Amino acid sequence: MSTEQFIQEKAQRVIESLYGVKPDISLIQIQKTRKEFEGDYTLVAFPLLKMSKKSPEITCQEIGDALTKSCPDVKGFNVVKGFLNISLSLEYWASVLNSIIADKEFGFKQSNSNDKPVVVEFSSPNTNKPLHLGHIRNNLLGFSISRILEKSGKRVYKVNLVNDRGIHICKSMIAWLKFGNGETPENSGKKGDHLVGDYYVRFDKEYKTEISNLVAKGMTEDEAKTKAPILLQAQELLRKWEAKDSETIALWSRMNGWVYEGFEKTYNSLGISFDKTYYESQTYLLGKSVVNDGLSRGVFKQKDDSSVWIDLTADGLDEKLLLRSDGTSVYITQDIGTAIERFNEFKFGEHIYVVGNEQEYHFQVLKLIMKKLGYEWSDALYHLSYGMVQLPEGKMKSREGTVVDADDLVSEMVNTAREMSEELGKLDDVDSGEAAYVNNIVGLGALKYFILKVDPKKNMTFNPKESIDFNGHTGPFIQYTHARIRSVIRKAGSVQLGNQIKPEHITSAKELDLIQMINLFPETVVISAESHNPAIIANYAYELAKEYNQFYHEFQIIKEANEGVRQFRLELSLQIADVIKRSMWLLGIEVPDKM
């Protein structure tokens, strides 16, 4: 039972005894007391005034008096207008810490096999380019929110939808056919996704050149953009692919194979995994059949050029294309089919799409289309929209080759961690293998934490140098705090931990603050899960690490003369280390024992 629930139940009983009415538990609002006031938790009186029929101040006074008389764990209170600030006893907080020590899965709930699962789709890369910084934010958000949901008690399936067909891959394919001269990952030494991405950039370069040439010959720019020969060739390649032309399919399979191998290496380096991977090439036909069925039922309409649309103007949206005039599908066609396939497979209670905020309209339309098609579970579709991520130098563009490659960024972060570690002498006493391991998780921790500490809805600028500051609001600072605690425990030697904490061993307000902070961990996990926001966990971990470091500098731990106090401080330190480790695990970040 959380502290809020504990106070709610005690308050519910005294309110019933005072006013003869048992209030609904939702009316008893409990929150952490603000730092400028004395107290641990605050009860808000205003929802209770209809029962008390008295002023907010008198209501608070009466409830406070009744609580202190009936509940030994309430040691005192004060009233500020309509707010009752409650102080809990040292006995209560000692019992809280003892329960935390006894709970080996503290803060983590087991999933209920009877609950409907949650499907989280993330990554969803195109097979015409390597993963870049924007993909990193997507992958880290998707993986972290999957772990957070899982440890809040949900059954979670992490899925990836690879966009392996369409005009984008055809652009890379036609550029390779025209300019590749048989280049492969093997004979070039390039990672497969990088090689294919190079030809996507080459396509754009040639496309722009052809547009310029056509404009010079008197064509308008808009017309030139549709008549450029290399674009027409890519469009023809797409038609051949959908017609299952054997040569086109063979080249498509070969180039996609290069990309898949490259993606897998990047996922492994980031510590990302999936329970299932879908491929658009295998799902778009179901989408087309659903669209055709909707057309026959009058949900969609066909225009004179044979293209299929849905008119959503009455719903405050626009018309949306579902099938092109040549019969080829668009992204939403595939999403319709994939959603149906996944519901049939998982019977999900929620389906989360981790996709950038530029696609908000797309998912509004998808949800509305599924509703109009009669799928009752359409309300379970949720778009976890996130903002753009860029470097201090500005925006990136894939087709122009100005993106920050994910592999390069990971390598740069690990190298920076190594350089800083060597400069500070932090790993001078460990062997090279362990040092390499620590530098790897510190570099990745810096990258992951810097991205995940920002609310997903916000645009952000990723600053590599700032992210790895050992003294800032960073992953390495939190990792170092964990390593510091583990060092304290090692230096304590053969101290027996796990003993019952006694109230008299809690000697300072700072220690109480730390107990209260780790007590908030389960609630923080739930709030983060409900809001689909890993930043809540990230910022909680930072605040906990910051508070512990202040405690570490202000108080003796190993050298504390009182054995009981020393035992308590060691046990408190150990529990904080465990909560930091669990918090960072939820973010997909490892924490070292030495650093």
Q: What mean pLDDT, rounded, does the chain reach?
A: 93
Whether 155 is in a domain gets the answer: yes
b/e per residue, 501-532, with b = 16+ CB within 10 A? beeebbbeeebeebbbbbbbbbbbbbbbbeeb
Whether 111 is in a domain gets the answer: no
Average pLDDT over residues 467-485: 93
Are 568 and 431 found together in one domain?
A: yes
Average pLDDT over residues 31-47: 94
Whether 116 is in a domain gets the answer: no
Q: Which of 390, 420, 449 is the last residue in one of the domains?
A: 390
Contact 382, 351 (CB under 8 A): yes
Contact 583, 521 (CB under 8 A): yes
Are 385 and 411 found together in one domain?
A: no
Are 431 and 355 found together in one domain?
A: no
Contact 130, 406 (CB under 8 A): yes
Are 188 and 50 found together in one domain?
A: no
Residue type, 362: H
Whether 93 is in a domain gets the answer: no
Reading the block at residue 53, the tokens are 């029929």
The more confident residue out of 389 and 191 is: 191
Q: Note the pLDDT of residue 399.
A: 46
**CA triple 43-45-50, angle to 5 deg:** 145
Residue 373: pLDDT over 50: yes
Whether 95 is in a domain gets the answer: no
Reading the block at residue 418, the tokens are 């190594």
Q: Which pLDDT band, with edges at 50, 70 and 90, does 328 fall under?
A: confident
Q: Which of 33, 67, 88 is the last residue in one of the domains?
A: 88
Residue 53: pLDDT over 60: yes
Contact 481, 583 (CB under 8 A): no
Whether 398 is in a domain gets the answer: no
Q: Note the pLDDT of residue 396.
A: 44
The CATH number for 502's domain is 1.10.730.10
Number of domains in the chain: 3
Are 241 and 303 found together in one domain?
A: yes
Question: Which residues are CB-neighbours of 423 under 8 A, at least 6 positions away?
Answer: none
Contact 6, 48 (CB under 8 A): no
Residue type, 493: G
Residue 184: pLDDT over 70: yes
Are 383 and 522 found together in one domain?
A: no
Are 582 and 460 found together in one domain?
A: yes
Q: Which pLDDT band, with edges at 50, 70 and 90, does 590 fall under?
A: very high
**pLDDT (tens digit, 9 = 90+) per residue, 559-587?**
999 999 999 999 999 999 999 999 999 99
In this structure, the strands spanning 156-162 and 118-121 are parallel
Q: Note the pLDDT of residue 482.
A: 97
Lowest mean pLDDT across 259-268, 323-332, 391-400, 464-473: 391-400
Residue 140: pLDDT over 70: yes
Are 385 and 416 found together in one domain?
A: no
Q: Which pLDDT band, with edges at 50, 70 and 90, does 500 fall under?
A: confident
The CATH number for 378's domain is 3.40.50.620
- Percent of the chain's residues with pLDDT above 70: 96
Q: Which pLDDT band, with edges at 50, 70 and 90, does 422 fall under?
A: confident
Whether 7 is in a domain gets the answer: yes
Positive or negative torsion for Cα 135, 141, 142, 143:
positive
CA distance linking residue 457 with residue 447, whole number of Å: 18
Average pLDDT over residues 473-498: 89
Helix or strand run (H / E) with residue 484: helix 475-491
Whether 385 is in a domain gets the answer: yes
Q: Which pLDDT band, with edges at 50, 70 and 90, does 416 fall under?
A: confident
Q: Which of 390, 425, 450 is the last residue in one of the domains?
A: 390
Tell me how far CA of residue 177 lies from CA of 25, 168, 172, 183, in angstroms.
69, 15, 9, 10
Are 337 and 374 found together in one domain?
A: yes
The CATH number for 16's domain is 3.30.1360.70
Residue 394: pLDDT over 60: no
Are 60 and 138 found together in one domain?
A: no
Are 135 and 195 found together in one domain?
A: yes
Residue 398: pLDDT over 70: no
**pLDDT (tens digit, 9 = 90+) per residue, 425-450?**
666 677 778 888 999 999 999 999 99
Longest alpha-carbon distance in the chain: 93
What residue numbers bound the domain in which 22 lies?
3-88
Q: Which pLDDT band, with edges at 50, 70 and 90, does 84 fall under?
A: very high
DSSP β-bridge partners for residue 160: 277
Question: Which residues are CB-neighbours of 148 under 8 A, at least 6 positions away?
Answer: 525, 528, 529, 534, 537, 586
Are 336 and 455 found together in one domain?
A: no
Phi, psi of 562 (to 5 degrees): -75, 115
Residue 212: pLDDT over 60: yes
